[in-house]
Each structure stands twice: as structure tokens, then as C-alpha cells.
Amino acid sequence: MSGADGWGSVPRREPGHVDDTAAAGREARGTSPTTAAGAASGRVHGRPAPAYGEYAPEGWVNPVLIERERQEREQQERDRRQQAASQAGRDSATAYRSGAGAPTGTVPPGRPGAVDDPTPGGPQRSVATSRFGRTPADFVLTVGLLAFGLISVVQSLAVTNVASTVRRTLETQYTALNDPSALSGAAVIGAITNVVVFALVAWWSIRRLRARKRTFWVPIVGAVVATFVSTIAFVVVVFQDPQFVEFMMRQTGA
């Protein structure tokens, strides 16, 4: 039947074959077989990606390269922001070291006198501390003890008054000494000891205060040492006095 109506002479086309004449006509109208097929199948219009082994059509851009360029631009922007923040931090540290541009009441973190907020992720806060000593209270207490020690040293330099006071105390509570003048030697030893110990204590305290270390205990230790040495001096003098030794023997029943 196909041979009778003349259709048998038309060559048989394979599925998917595109006639060159029809393709040329579509290209002249600005369309291509692939674009037309994409429109018929509901695909998005545009230049399709080249198939394996084909050349990319004019104007086609690889989306992988576009994404890579976008990521590179974002990374460069992050690097610029980090460099700007680092430069700002260095400028701030330089300003603090030079003593200019420091905000009132704040101290850079990590510098002496700064206390960072221990809360993880919390903002850093600065608390001003004493310029000398571990704390303001430590500085005040140390200075007060040194002042009291200086007054004691000045009083001990009056050797005659110290010896008279010790003699009256012994006569009131114990007995009169055979040689009270020996107490003056003990008073001199005590005065010299107080001056030397106070000088050492003052020097050591100043060094510790400048280093912002706890210092209040240094004058206390110095006072204990000076008192111990002065007491030993008087005890030695008193127990060498025959009248006092006799009195003590009578008290103990020996």
C-alpha cells in the first residue's frame, strides 16, 4: 500500500534525527534544535551546557567557576576585615604605650591593672588597681605600718629614757638592780637594731610596692625581729646583775 501511494520512496528517519533543512530554518529564526527541544519539554530557556566532547556555545559560563569566584571574593573580604581589625588593635596598643588616646577609666587587657571578664564569650572589662602594692588596701596598710615603725625607731633613739623606763619597770615588778647603768648599753643595742631593721624593711617594702606585690607583712616581720633582738639584749644585761639573780633564786626557792 505504501508503494501504491508513493510514500514508500521517502527515506525512513531514525528517532531523534533532525532534518538539516528544518534545523537551518530554526537557526535562521534564532532557535536551535536543543533550544526547541528544551522549550517543548518544559526546560528553562538559555544556553545549554555542552555535552561531552562538544565545544561550549558562545556566551556559556561554567557555573562551577562562578561559584568558585564568589567564594574567593568572600574569602578576600573576610581577610580584609581581619587585617583591618588586627591593624586597629596594633594602633590601640601603640597609643596606650605612648600614653595617648587611652579612654578614661579603662586599661588594655593583658596589661598590669587590667582584669578580664572570666565569663567565656563575655565582653572584656577592666578594673583599675593600685599603682603601688597588690591592692589599694595593701598599700595603705603597708604605709601605716612603716609610719608606726618609724615612730618607734625615733623613740628608741632616746637611750636614756628607754633605760629609765626599763629600770622603773624592773623595780616595780621585781627588784632594784645592783648596776642600773648597764641598762643603757642594752638600750643602745636596741636602738641600733631598730635603725638597721627599719632601713632594711623600708627598702624591701618599697621594692615590693613598686612590683605590685603584697607587702603589708614585711613591716610586721621587721617589728618582730627588732623587738626580739632588743628584748634579748635587755635579758642578758638583767640576768648578769647579782641583785636580780638573787631575787629570782629566792622566788624559785633555790
Q: What is the pLDDT of residues 184-231, one digit of tens each?
A: 999 999 999 999 999 999 999 999 999 999 999 999 999 999 999 999
Residue indicated by cell numbers 591593672: 113
pLDDT given at position 222: 94
Taking only the tens place, the pLDDT of each residue in 136-179 is 999 999 999 999 999 999 999 999 999 999 989 888 888 888 88
Q: What pLDDT band is residue 87 in, cutting at 50, 70 and 90?
A: confident
pLDDT given at position 123: 47
For the whole model, what pTM was predicted? 0.49
More confident residue, 201 or 98: 201
Alpha-carbon dihedral sign for residues 24, 25, 29, 31: negative
Q: CA 51, CA 139: separation in Å to the nearest integer? A: 84
Q: CA 98, CA 90: separation in Å to the nearest integer? A: 12
More confident residue, 216 or 57: 216
Q: Could you give the angle at the alpha carbon of 205 between the alpha carbons of 104 and 98, nearest 5°? A: 30
More confident residue, 7 or 239: 239
What integer best gives the mean pLDDT of the chain?
75
pLDDT given at position 251: 79
For residue 10, give the amino acid letter. V
Number of H helices, E strands in the chain: 9, 0
DSSP run (H or E) holding 238: helix 217-239
Q: CA 108, CA 97: separation in Å to the nearest integer? A: 10
Report for 31-35, 131-135, 214-218, 238-242: range of highest mean pLDDT: 214-218
For residue 163, give the nearest of 187, 179, 188 by alpha carbon: 187
pLDDT given at position 24: 46
Q: Could you give the angle at the alpha carbon of 123 between the alpha carbons of 120 and 124, nearest 5°? A: 100
- Structural contact between residues 112 and 96, judged by C-beta atoms closer than 8 angstroms: no
Residue indicated by cell numbers 648596776: 179
